[in-house]
Each structure stands twice: as structure tokens, then as C-alpha cells.
Chain A
Amino acid sequence: MSSSMSRLLNILSQSLAAVIALKLRSFFCILSIAIGISAITIIVATTEGAFQKAFDIVDIFGPDAVLIVGGSEESRAISRRMKTLTLADADAIRASFGTAYMVVPMSTVRDVAVSYRGNRYSSQAIGSTNNYSVAWSWPVVEGSDFTEEDLKRAANVALIGNETMLELFGTENPVGKFIQVRTIPVQVVGVLMERGASMGGGNLDNRVVMPITTVMKKLQNEAKYIAVMRVRFEDVENIDLRMTELKEFLRMRHRLPDGEPDDFQVFSSKDIIKFLVALTGSLIVFVGIVGIISLVVAGFVLANLFHLSVRERTGEIGIRRSVGAKKRDILYQFLGEALLLTTAGGACGFLLGFAGAKLLQKLADFPIYFSWKAFVIGLMLSWIVGIVFGLQPASRAANLKPIEAIRG
């Protein structure tokens, strides 16, 4: 080890000793930094979570797919989804759009009680056509998808999600077994692969997918209307054009006069990402401002406490200088103290932010994703605060004249 290196280590050991000795100062510095860093950590984790979620969605959704949702934008906003889409619309689209290689209508019933031999669980029933697995690029890992025949007959058959399987069957093989969906006995024909991450709150792996005819007739008592429709196009490059065509086509079919708003909405994967970014964006801005303000405040707290500390410790600075400490030794010692404190504050802030983010995820269903980035960004910011706000008091300490420090 070179002698200047060991000198620096010696000096940093002095910083550490002071940090440990001056407990009250350390506590306030660490606390104030931790608050700022925790806010920043949440932002980073949320931003990353939003991106992660966006990628997941594009992945699941498919870049060549659009989603048509019944009801106008206004009715969606107040969460009263009007029923406007029909099975006939789906058939018409299938017939009229040459490049639409897949048109899958879907209906959803939330909070459906399912049970198997006394094991009860609350799931959601999804009505689909027979190519659900292909339409959503979601492999069936056991058994097989239901058939067109099942669809026509409105058969009591189902694909179940991984979580639903575990809750109802445990380790038992569910294929061929009968479960109760509400009061209807339904035969399990296949199990969907585990998807893992949650999307927009609902757990993806908890679902019972049945022929849409079965869901409409037997669960919804509905003859005509469906909730959503998924259309996949062969020509991804023309997806914007296809969306416009779809809108015009549906307006015609629904006989909407000019000036009347759409009674449906068409989303591409891009729209879903935009929506998510808008949702998380405003919060990111808010927490971001809070985070930056609290970091600046933390910086001033640090600078202030260090100014006080330098004044209180003029004697210490004086004796160090008189036994041979150079100006930069003093500078490094005080800067070292600031950096040790902000690093500790950053680490505490990260833990605090981690806990806060988890809480947000639980309470407000936030997309949260932690990676090394959140930690590194927090650490970098705390170092920047340490250097920016520690430098001035530290250089004041270093530039104290030895005779004045000793006299003081």
C-alpha cells in the first residue's frame, strides 16, 4: 500500500471516529438525507416499475394487436361501461378485414366463486373463443385449449390459471376434473402457464377461461353483448391505418351519425403504455419535487450542522494542524465525515424507500420494480449532497489558521 493511500485511510478512520462520537449530529444528518433519498428511491422504483409493466403489457398484448372496448370514453371514465360491442361485430370484422388473422371476443365476470371438493377460491371468469391461448400467446402447459365445438355447444369446459390450479387442486392433476363455477359444474381441460407479475392489480394467474358462449349464457345471462374484443393483424406496419379503419367500420355498424362520439374505444399497445405513463407520470413529478426539495433541505441541514461542528471543534482542528496535519488532511477528514453520513443516510433512505414503495404497491396498486438502479442513483445523489454541502464547511475547517484555531 502506498504511503499516501495509507495516510488517506488513516484520515478516513478519523472521520469515522468523529461520526460515531458525534451521535446527535450524525442522527440528524442521516435522518434528513434518508427522507430525501427514500423519496427518490420510490420515484426510481416506480418509474422502473412503469416501464417494466409497459414492457410486460406489450409482450402480453402483442405489438400487432388492438383491443376494442365497449362503451364511450366518457362512460369508461365514470366506470359505467356501456355495452355496445356484439358477437356479430366480431364476426363482421373477421369477415371484412383481410389481414385480421385473429378476432377474439371476450367477456369478463369478476369475483366468481370457484370450488373443488371443498377448496374455495374467488376467481374471475373469462369468456373467449377457442383460440385464447394463441390469441394471448399464452401456452397451455397441461391438457389443451377448448375446441370450436365447445364454443358452439356452450360447453362447460375451462382453462384455468396457475394460481387457481394451486388453490383448488394443490398438487393434484386438474385436467379432466370437474370444478364448480358459481353453481355450474365445469370440466377443466387445460392449465395456463404461470405468468407471474401482476398487471393492473388483478393477478394474471388467477382466472377461469371458458367458451364465451358459456359465460354469456350461463354466468351473465347475456345474449348479445360482449365486453372487449381483441384483433391481431398480419401487417403490423399498417396498424395505425387498421385502427382508423376499425373505428370507421364500427361507427358504420353501430349507425353513429357524424358528430356523435364513438361508443367504443380502440387501444393499441402504444396507447396502453401512454395511459400508464400518464398515470404514474403525475405521481413521479410530485414525489420527484418532494424528493428534490427534501434533499436540498437535507443538504442545508448537513451544511449547518457541519458549520456548527467546525466552530465547536476549532481546538481539534488546531491540535491536528499543530501536530502536522496539512490543509487537505483536514479537508478530507471533514468531507469524509460528510460522505460517511450521507452514505449512511442514503442506505437508510433506500431501505425506507423500499418499505414505502412496497406499501404503495399494496395500498395503491403501484407498479414497483427494484433494481440496482434505484440503489445506485440514491447512493450517487447522497454523495453529491455530501460533497456539495460538505465542501464549504470542510474547506472552512481546512483554512482555519493554526494559531487562531489553537487560540480559540
Chain B
Amino acid sequence: MTALCLMENVKKTFSLGNDVSVEVLKGIDLAVDRGEFLAIMGTSGSGKSTLMNLIGCLDVPTSGRYLLAGREVLGLQDDDLSELRNTHIGFVFQSFYLLPYATVLENVLLPTLYREKGGGHIEKRAVELLHLVGLEKRMNFRPNRLSGGEQQRVALCRALMNDPEIILADEPTGQLDSKTASEIINLLAEMNKKGKTVILVTHDAAIAANAQRIIRIKDGVIINE
């Protein structure tokens, strides 16, 4: 069986203008199988965020190969990348990124707005997800009435809404206290048990320890597995 994410010699160069450019990723080889719980560790500036952006199709490699669910990502148009993100990836970010003027339920429903195929029962599914994280009673609240941990749980529901294969979490506990942080990590582990591939990006070794596999990245290369 081929890997869900397969990267071969992936490089990413950012141009700073005036013919100056920085190579942030210097040849990454990575294979992530379905159902894995993977942590990517590294200090800031190591290239781990860039790697996460590439895995999540927020950006495309400068060179190399990247197959996501069997599809070559390099050379895809912006619209195709959007569709890939919509169907295959669920993002969880450090600063939640909930829409302040939308209710909890509307925030969870956000990915369905951009779905190519409409599906029935989307609200029922959103309520079920909120029930799963214990927030269905607050579905008509605005995000500003929720605590940080609650907001991140809403963000998790949003990530799951379109039933993607991969949950991509970028420092999901960075703004949370340790108790709330472990709740979020437990939820991620639970998602993983239900079959989701979870990729966790963090600089915190204690958080990374929850994953089955840890890769470390430094100066744009993977230094150990």
C-alpha cells in the first residue's frame, strides 16, 4: 500500500527579492501512512512550519515530488490545492482562528461552504461533532464567550467536519495551559484511534511524546527518526 503522504527530495526556496533566496527545506524524504500519529519537532526557524504548509497543501514545493493520497501536488493550480485542502486536510492552528462574528456551530460548518459536492445532514454532523467534544450546548455562542481550550475544541470539530484523512495540528496547545493542553492532545489521540492520520507540529518534547513516531527537523533536513 502506498503512503498517504509521500515526499521525495522535497526542496523549498523562498525568494527574498534582489536575487537573494533562502533554501528553507533542503531535500526532505518522508512517508506517512494512513492511521499514523506523527509528531514533527524542531525549533523555530528549523523549517518545520514550512514542511507543515507543504504537507497541508497551503504551499507547493520548489522541487521534488509530493504525492498526497496518490495525487501529485507539484504543479497543481491554486483552485486544485484549495480542493485538496477541503477534502483531505483538517487544520488546527495555535491561535484557533475562529470567526468572531459567527456562532460555534457556524464555525464548525465553515468547511462545508467550500465543498464541491453538497451533502445532506451537515448540521446534524456538526452537532454530533460538538457533542463529541462536549460543546453542543454552546453551539449558538460566539467564540469570545468560550475559554481557549473550548475554542480549540471547536477548531478541532471544524477540522473534522469534511471528514478528511489527515488532521494537521500546528502547535495546537501553544496558547493553552498544561491541563487543557493534555485534553486537546487526548482528543487528537482519540481521533487517531478512530482512523485519522494525525500530524502534530510542535517544539515541545512532552507534547510530541504522545505520538507513535517523532521526526526531528533542523536547518531544513530531517535529522533523525
Contact = CB atoms under 8 A, between A and B. Distances in A.
A11 B113 contact: yes
Interface in B52-79: 53, 56, 58-59, 78-79
Nearest to A402: B58
A18 B101 contact: yes
Contacts of A78: none
Contact of B82 (A20, A318, A321): A321
What does DSSP make chain A's interface, helix, strand, loop or mixed? helix
Interface string A293-322: 000000000000000000000011011111
A22 B110 CA distance: 19
Contact of A320 (B78, B100, B110, B115): B110
B111 A17 contact: no
Contact of B158 (A11, A21, A321, A323): A323
A324 B118 contact: no
Interface in B115-159: 115-118, 158
A154 interface: no
A340 to B, nearest CB: 14
A324 B114 contact: yes
Assign chain A's interface to a size class: 20 to 34
A6 B118 CA distance: 9
Given A17-B102, A21-B101, A327-B78, A402 B114 contact: no
A406 interface: yes
Contacts of B59: 401-403
A72 B162 CA distance: 86
Nearest to A14: B113
Contacts of A315: 95, 97
B86 A318 contact: no
A3 interface: yes
A403 B98 CA distance: 17
Contacts of B117: 3
A319 B99 contact: yes
A320 B82 CA distance: 10
Contacts of A285: none
Which range holds the interface residue count of chain B? Answer: 20 to 34
A401 B91 CA distance: 16
B46 interface: no
B180 interface: no
A326 B114 contact: yes
Interface in B92-109: 93, 95, 97-102, 106
B87 interface: yes
A322 B85 contact: yes
B58 A406 contact: yes
A7 B114 contact: yes
A329 interface: yes
Nearest to B100: A21
Contacts of A10: 113
Contacts of B101: 17-18, 20-22
A17 B142 CA distance: 13
B130 to A, nearest CB: 17
A213 to B, nearest CB: 80
A318 B114 contact: no
Contacts of A3: 116-118
A113 interface: no
Nearest to A315: B97
A323 B111 contact: yes
Query: Which of B82, B101, B106 gathers most chain A CB within 10 Å?
Result: B82
A325 interface: yes
B58 A322 contact: yes
B91 A323 contact: yes
A403 B97 CA distance: 13
B83 interface: yes
Contact of A324 (B53, B83, B102, B106): B83
Contacts of B93: 319, 406
A369 B158 CA distance: 55
A10 to B, nearest CB: 5
Contact of B111 (A6, A11, A318, A324): A324
A324 B116 CA distance: 10
Q: Which of A14, A320, A322, A406 has the most CB of B within 10 A?
A: A322
Nearest to B84: A324
Contacts of A401: 59
A406 B113 contact: no
Contacts of A17: 101-102, 106
A255 B111 CA distance: 93
Contacts of A406: 58, 93, 97
A51 B158 CA distance: 60
B86 A323 contact: yes
Interface in A22-36: 22
A402 B100 CA distance: 19
Contacts of A402: 58-59
Contacts of A326: 78-79, 82-83, 114
A16 to B, nearest CB: 11
Contacts of B116: 3
A313 to B, nearest CB: 9
A3 B112 CA distance: 12
13 contacts: A3-B117, A10-B113, A21-B100, A321-B58, A321-B85, A322-B85, A323-B91, A324-B111, A325-B82, A327-B78, A329-B114, A403-B58, A406-B97
Given A316-B97, A326-B83, 7 more contacts: A315-B95, A322-B89, A322-B91, A325-B82, A326-B82, A402-B59, A403-B53
7 cross-chain pairs, A with B, having the tightest CB-CB distances, nearest first: A324-B86, A21-B101, A324-B114, A319-B97, A323-B111, A326-B82, A10-B113
